[in-house]
Amino acid sequence: MKKLILILTIVGFASTAHAQDSLMSQHTFNICASILVLGLVMFFILTIMKRLLEYRIKNRIVEKGIPESIAMSVLENSPKEDRNANLKWALILAGLGVALFFIHHTQPLGIHSLSILAFCLSASFLSYFFISKSSHK
């Protein structure tokens, strides 16, 4: 979260220092969007790799015949965490879709487009927080 805030701050300062007027250029917006998409793709690849490696570890534990108490602590699967991860991604993608909808209808692209994107994504994370908080009770 700290990295995201730092990146958004740097982009905000860079765009305001560079801009002659209050609107961000199309080139700057394309760069920011490319970085965002690249970050999402990298996060997706890392998640797939993590799941694959966890699967391989679990298979090796079963093959080696490790004592049951240790194996159960490692192999323990929490369906609540999986459900929350799916909920989180659904809310993030819904927030991104809403943001892109509003950005499309508020042409031309400018700094307000990034603020719409940030607001919708933060609203989706906030809704995820409240939903997960209420489900823990």
**pLDDT for 22:** 47
Residue type, 125: F
**pLDDT for 47:** 85
Going residue by residue through the chain, which has 137 residues, state the pLDDT in tens, using 9 for 90 and above.
667 676 767 666 655 555 554 456 677 777 777 888 888 888 889 889 988 988 888 888 878 877 777 777 766 766 666 667 778 888 888 888 888 888 888 877 778 888 888 898 899 889 988 888 887 76
**pLDDT for 11:** 65
**pLDDT for 137:** 67
**pLDDT for 131:** 86
**pLDDT for 49:** 92
**pLDDT for 26:** 74
So where are the chain's domains?
25-77, 78-137
- Specify the long-range contacts of residues 123-129, CB closer than 8 Å, at least 24 apart: 123/95, 124/91, 124/92, 124/94, 124/95, 124/96, 125/91, 125/92, 125/95, 127/91, 128/87, 128/88, 128/91, 128/92
Cβ(133)–Cβ(127) under 8 Å?
A: no
